[in-house]
Amino acid sequence: MRAGVIIVCFVTLLCILEQGGNSMAEPQTNGQFEIYMIADRLIDVLPYNYEDPAWRKLLETPPYGTVILADKDIETYNWEDQEIILSSSASERLGGLKLIEKSFVAYLGKRPLFGGSFIEPGSARAINYPVIYIDKSRSQVVFQLRPIHWMFESYRQLDTKMKRRIELPDVRRHFRTLGKLK
């Protein structure tokens, strides 16, 4: 019952934002990989099940936000571990932002790929949708993409079907073409 009420509230919120003219501006550059941070804190209203229709609605018409990461900010994309190693300048710029519990949508050109939330690996949230962990322990910031929040196994041990949420052939091809795929 509670989950149904939350979903209805979330879809209502999206409709209000869409009618209020707060829909997202076009991605900055056609053909670029971008991570778009949604301005509103949605982690508490997003359905924990990624198969919920509210996710499709969010991807089709995300509320207002900002592109925080694009091709120029990425030094390397480590495909096997789904890690985006940021450039030094992007590490400096994004290292100080409070991204934890903010939601995002990843794009390739104008096409939404997947959405999720930035979260700490040790979070107790039972999230069954894509997340990004932020690793600041290295010399450069690393965005660790995960198809779900699951800290008990390494990325490589996760179910192949689950990995398909974020391991998209077009993204791999894009970063191989840029010479940034590891």
Over residues 86-95, the mean pLDDT reads 94
Whether residue 62 has pLDDT greater than 90: no
Question: What pTM was computed for the model?
Answer: 0.82
What's the pLDDT band for 175 if we cut at 50, 70, 90?
very high
Over residues 61-85, the mean pLDDT reads 94
Q: 3-class DSSP state for residue 73?
A: helix
Greater confidence (62 vs 77) lies with 77
**Whole-number pLDDT of residue 1:** 52
Whether residue 124 has pLDDT greater than 90: no
- Average pLDDT value over all residues in the chain: 84
3-state secondary structure string, 89-136?
Answer: HHHHHHHCCCCCCCEEEEEECCEEEEEEEECCCCCCCCCECCEEEEEC
**Per-residue model confidence as pLDDT tens digits over 97-122:** 899 999 999 999 989 999 999 999 98
**Per-residue model confidence as pLDDT tens digits over 18-35:** 433 333 444 444 689 999
